[in-house]
Structure 1
Amino acid sequence: MTDAIRETAQSNAQDVVELAKRHLVQPWPTAGEVGAEARPLIRGGEGIYITDGAGKRLIDGPAGMWCVNAGHRREELASVMYEQAMLLSYNTPWYTMSEPSAVLAKRIADYAPGDLNHVFFTTGGSSAVESALRFMQFYNNVRGRPEKKLILSRGGAYHGSTYLSASLNGRPRDRDWMDGADDLVVKLSSPNPFRRPEGMSLAIFSNMLVAEFEETVSRIGADKIGAFIGEPIQASGGVIVPPDDYLPRIRKICRDNDILFIADEVVTAFGRLGHVFSSGEEFGLDPDIITFAKGVTSGYFPLGGMVVSERLLAELRRSNHPTAMYAHGLTYTSHPVGCAVALANLDLLEGGILAHAQAIAPYFQEQLRTLEELPLVGEVRGTGLMACVECVADRESKNPLELDTSVGMRIDAHCHELGLLVRPLINMCVMSPPLVITRDQIDDMVAILREGISRTMDDLRREGVWQG
């Protein structure tokens, strides 16, 4: 441990809080708190646990931000980071390359479905999505179709925080006060079975979504639509698992109309559903582009990217514009340290973590669904090692507690006190722990979450805002 890190680790927690309030701007702040807030301090981590500023050990329920897939404090990843930095800490991707980036691109391509054989690396999920969309624009320009640029996205979607990627988002509140490229984006309905019309079967719901897609393409014109982008499972939208046949049918419509199908696997790739990529393994898809980030390095280093179809690149090479430039890149594209860490992370996934995630996932889902016994819980849904507990005022109307939209924050506060960090999303709690979690640890996590929800129910009854 260096002197600088040791000094930081030994600093007074309250001093750190005050420094944050005076100098640190947090992500997604409200105007009333921007530049003047401090959030719970996390000082360490090991396995599925983190330690807060008071020294309290907590289960890391969201695995950082869906990303600490291999768990905290893995020496295999930390040592590779050090060794690569000592060998080569950086090279410019504009006119040089590094060995880790080429080797990693090959290994990722081997896992990708269909003919996705080429990888462009970025610094994270937002920049991966931005890169894919800019590639779509470039692709259509080179092919002489400058009008084919509209992007189909969906309600409940989350695709990033850069200008164009954020324009695709469809979650409540994401765009209330933020501008976006609205002239480029067409929004479709969320494929959320829990919110489908009362009495409608899943099959009819899926038909309705597909019919909406077909009508949109017909009304706007396929010659105007460049891409559809969708998360196989809408993660930050509340772990929305679509009807089984929905995505393959959308994929066929895209192929029939020459619309690029972009699978946003920033969350679902690298083990979250038990596979390196879930598009092919879980959903039977062969997208034109897959975006990824988060779990590719288990959060140890910022890295993301997109995997692109061989067909698309071959069409560009055959075009009448061989000197047309995809004028897009980042200073840290193909960063050698990030790529080296990702290679070591893939070794860990292949060495047993993927198999463990596949084996433990059914128990994880089964135990979390026992929380549906609680009257505040409307639905527990998910797949793999990602799930959402959605709270409602009453199950019949599925009212999302309009009198108390911060119910998720209340549950999180109780759970923090009890030893669990959750991801609160308005009236929902998202759980996506490190993939190395055990059955006993799942039992602990669910027991704490049950107690946190129960305490929240008591609070709401006492305040008179809920009578369930």
Structure 2
Amino acid sequence: MTTIGSTAVMMAAVEKNVAERAKRHLIQPWPVAETVGDEARPLIGEGEGIYITDAAGKRLIDGPAGMWCTNIGHRRRELADVMHEQAMALSYNSPWYTTNPPSVALAERIAAHAPGDLNHVFLTTGGSSAVETALRFMQFYNNVRGRPDKKLILSRGSAYHGSTYLSASLNARPRDNDWMDSAGDLVVKLSAPNPFRRPRGTTVAEFADFLVDEFRDTVARVGAGRIGAFVAEPIQASGGVIVPPDGYLPRIREICRANDILYISDEVVTAFGRLGHVFASREVFGLDPDMITFAKGVTSGYFPLGGVVISEHLLEDLRRSNHPEAMFAHGLTNTSHPIGCAVALKNLDILEGGVLDHVREVVPYFQARLHSLADLPLVGEVRGVGMMAGIECIAGPAGAESGALDETIGKRIDGHCQELGLLVRPIVNMCVMSPPLTITRAQIDDMAAILCEGISRTMDDLEREGLWRR
């Protein structure tokens, strides 16, 4: 007979064994030089619904939904069955000279949800390759149109767009590019659209005007003839759930349109239900971009897939050019992968079958419960839209830049929350919450209560250590 105590011992032994093997062979993403190739991160054994289970058998609310992606939750048999069925029917085909039915059906369905004339879809393996594809398409487009100098890319502070070479060159969070090379000569960085960090004495409306003026002045200074694209997340996700001022993005869109600058809306995080719609650009922000990138929630993380939705008018410009021989020499071995596309189609069935309605119905409650944490002395701001929220904690004056103490706060809170049954995504001094979209009101209550207690315990720690006073 197996006892609870002996089960825990066995699980601990399993975790130790896996940790030792990981340290010998597995390189984790985003390591530091001190531990690269010699690191074991916490082991997750399984997931179900909004929960994951660690190696010790402890059940945790999956606060980040994996990495913004497990939108319909863990262990959905419908998706597992589709993977099996498609693998048994057709596991792979080369996109260079053949096509599979699921990819055609998915492209058609995504185009039907996209705003404006975004009618064409190029499928990739994830978010980084989606952004990379959009940027390479912009370069190709301007080359074919006889504008080889129109290649610069406008990005913003706190942006995160991926880990491939061009996409990573747009990133502008602390430490992103400290030790990594990038195509910096192709990128012009603008201010982060973060109202919480706006200059003191400035209203949010004045800050929005500043951002728009900065954009317009940058186009004038650099020259519209040299700028190919502006790339923007509607909400800067990994930058800390930065919600831009109302009306700012549509104003930037108009400047782009007036200067023939392609507007690329990076919806890798915000698409497929995170904000209550398949795409949020038009429905939430009033935008009709030239391209939209997507990934993550398109398969709810069950299979690596991403893509770019491209405007009809861009393709028409290429067809009318004087270079019919020009080749868009870009593709991936797993472009339009049949299993990924089949999973995405079933995932869309589930989203459209009630999950999107549930998100729109429960979002006000989700936001209200998390905004109630703003009363805690350590919390500087709670912000969010849809099923995304960022709780920014500050040990210094409100609105000031984060100090050394602030940089430890997120990890401290996450440690306490894991003990209490919640996995948090700590980003420096911020706690990011983006749970599976199927979360219920009662589960939201549990999540908010644990996060509140985790922050409270962190405040107690800081006071006890003499590092902070409330």
Same-fold status (TM-score > 0.5): yes
Aligned length: 460
Cα distance, 1:465 vs. partner?
Answer: 1.7
Partners of 2:386 and 2:98 in 1: how far apart?
A: 39
The answer to whether the 8 Å contact 1:392/1:399 transfers is no
1:4 aligns with none
**1:317 corresponds to which of 316, 319, 334:** 319
- Any idea what the Cα deviations from partners look like across 1:278-320, whole Å, max 9, x if unmatched? 0010011000000000000000000000000000001101110
The counterpart of 2:380, out of the listed 356, 360, 378, is: 378
- Please identify, of 254-263 and 169-178, the stretch whose mean Cα deviation from structure 2 is larger: 169-178
SS of residue matched to 1:323: coil
Does the aligned pair in 1 maintain the 2:394–2:406 contact within 8 Å?
no
> Do the aligned residues in 1 keep the contact of 2:95 with 2:335 (CA within 8 Å)?
yes
TM-score (norm 1): 0.97
Q: Distance in 2 between matches of 1:364 and 1:240?
A: 17
- Listed as ranges, the gaps of 5+ residues in structure 2 are 1-10
Once residues 363 and 85 of structure 1 are traced to their aligned partners in structure 2, the CA distance between those partners, rounded to angstroms, is: 40
Q: Distance in 2 between matches of 1:218 and 1:174?
A: 28
Unaligned runs of 5+ in 1: 1-8
How far is 1:404 from its partner? 4.5
Whether the 8 Å contact between 2:72 and 2:300 is mirrored in structure 1 is yes
Q: CA deviation at 1:395?
A: 4.4
- Shifted more, 41-50 versus 199-208: the winner is 199-208
SS at match of 1:91: coil
Q: How far apart are residue 462 of structure 1 and its match?
A: 1.6
> What's the secondary structure of 1:205's corresponding residue?
helix
Q: Distance in 2 between matches of 1:465 and 1:155?
A: 29
Secondary structure in 2 matching 1:218: helix
Counterpart CA distance in 1 for 2:297 and 2:136 is 23
Letter aligned with residue 306 of structure 1? V
Instruction: Output the TM-score relative to the length of structure 2.
Output: 0.97
Superposed, 1:257-406 pairs within 5 Å as 257-406=259-408
CA distance in 2, matches of 1:97, 1:320: 28
* Matches for 1:115-264 after TM superposition, within 5 Å: 115-264=117-266
Q: Which residue pairs with 2:5 in the alignment?
A: none
> Could you tell me how far apart the structure 2 residues matched to 1:456 and 1:173 are?
25
Identity, % of aligned positions? 74
What amino acid is aligned across from residue 356 of structure 2 in structure 1? L
- Letter paired with 1:376: L
SS at match of 1:364: helix
SS in 2 for 1:406: helix
* TM-superposed deviation, 1:199: 2.1
CA distance in 2, matches of 1:450, 1:399: 24
1:76·1:344 contact (CA, 8 Å) conserved in 2?
A: yes
Letter in 1 for 2:318: L
Give secondary structure in 2 for the equivalent of 1:12: helix
Change (3 A) 1:451 1:401: farther
* Aligned twin of 1:73: 75
Aligned to 1:447: 449
- Counterpart AA for 1:439: R
RMSD: 1.1
Superimposed CA distance per residue, residues 126-160 of structure 1 (whole angstroms, 9 cap, x where no aligned partner): 00000000000000000000000000000000000
Task: State the SS of the aligned residue for 2:91.
Answer: coil
Partner amino acid, structure 1, of 2:16: Q
1:83 corresponds to: 85
TM-aligned CA deviation for residue 10 of structure 1: 11
